[in-house]
Structure 1
Amino acid sequence: MAMNIQRLGPTWAPAYRQLMLGAYARHPEAFTSSPEERAALPLDWWQRRLQEKDQAQERVWGATQGADLLGVVGLGLETREKVRHKATLFGLYVPDRHRRLGIAKGLLDELLTHAQGLPRLRVVQLTVTEGNHAALALYGQAGFRLFGSEPLAVAVGDSLLAKLHLWCDLDGLRRS
């Protein structure tokens, strides 16, 4: 069965929740939310995140194969007037068993294609934990550029980790 990349709707909430709780637990250094914080959220929080309306401020895509969710990525749109030209990529995750199949690249491509189709957007931003070379390479190939480093950004146990801030110029992608 072939893989499909699609915008997820509320019916995917249980699978999305399960996948992301696994991500938070397996890679605590990569996410700013803890598994305990997110596990405490009711299912309707996850369903709201997966709203399919055009006005939805958060949009999530999934790589699916039948009823299986193989990976996800989200885009958060800014609503404040002075920053409505920006969006934030969040929660790109593909479990180990599905890596090296091009899923992350496919999800990222789909998100950027969608973002380019929103005329108000000029910039997509994201953060990556310092030392995550695979993620940095993927984002770099997609056109993201480093613009700063936030020291002591995330506390994981006794460690304080830096986050690298990246941005992608959508107008540049639209012209290429």
Structure 2
Amino acid sequence: MAIELLDPSRAKAYRQLMLQAYSLHPQAFVSSIAHREKLPLSWWEGQLEDDLSALFGAFVDAQLVGIVGLAFEPWEEAQHKATLFGLYVPQAFRGQGIGEQLVQAVLSLAEQEPEIKVVELTVSADSSAALALYRRCGFEQSGLEDSAIRVGDEYYDRVHMRRLVEAAK
């Protein structure tokens, strides 16, 4: 398995994996499949060349089997923070440490940026596996947002988590 920064040449695989994530786990994402599947491939390419984020992919035999992103703050007053987003590993590849390696890739990138002091994220409160993964990676709960996501008539809470960043030596 290899972890790589994604570039626009990977947009088709990125789109396919994210649409799967939106379809199977709508409560875990702010975006919906109904909205995102309408977007042209050029939009997905743009996501992979945005200066305010970095997206990592996990590859097994050249197949994209996991993704995660790190978003940087555009405002000077908030540039000490970055946000981990969009972590997804399909069921068939879970339990192999891929998610943890993706999170570690994001944390390593954050450590390379001297202005970043904290990485934040939100996660579905009912996702015990994701919560456990983030805790193993040093994240601590910093808040709880009731009814943060609505899917149909159901509401889902989100846990806010954060981890201090140690500067790379």
The 8 Å contact of residues 111 and 168 in structure 2, kept in 1 or not, is answered as: no
Moved more, 111-120 or 61-70: 61-70
Partner of 2:148: 153
Q: In structure 2, give the amino acid aligned to 1:16.
A: Y
Distance in 1 between the 2:118 and 2:34 partners?
31
1:114-133 residue pairs with structure 2 within 5 A?
Answer: 114-133=109-128
Partner of 1:109: 104
Number of positions where the alignment pairs a residue of Structure 1 with one of Structure 2:
169
Distance in 2 between the 1:114 and 1:161 partners?
30
Q: TM-score, normalised by structure 2?
A: 0.96
Alignment equivalent of 2:44, drawn from 43, 46, 51: 46
Q: Residue 136 in 1 paired to residue 134 in 2?
A: no
SS, match of residue 74 in structure 1: strand
In angstroms, what is the RMSD of aligned CA positions?
1.5
Q: TM-score, normalised by structure 1?
A: 0.92
Query: % of aligned pairs identical?
Result: 44
Partner of 2:35: 37
> What are the ranges of 5 or more consecutive residues in structure 2 without an aligned counterpart?
none
Alignment equivalent of 1:64, drawn from 59, 67, 75: 59
Distance in 1 between the 2:73 and 2:168 partners?
23
Alignment equivalent of 1:77, drawn from 66, 72, 84: 72
> What are the ranges of 5 or more consecutive residues in structure 1 without an aligned counterpart?
none
Distance in 2 between the 1:31 and 1:77 partners?
19
Distance in 1 between the 2:163 and 2:43 partners?
28
The 8 Å contact of residues 112 and 168 in structure 2, kept in 1 or not, is answered as: no
- Deviation at residue 66 of structure 1 after TM alignment: 3.7
Q: Residue 15 in 1 paired to residue 10 in 2?
A: no
- Deviation at residue 156 of structure 1 after TM alignment: 1.0
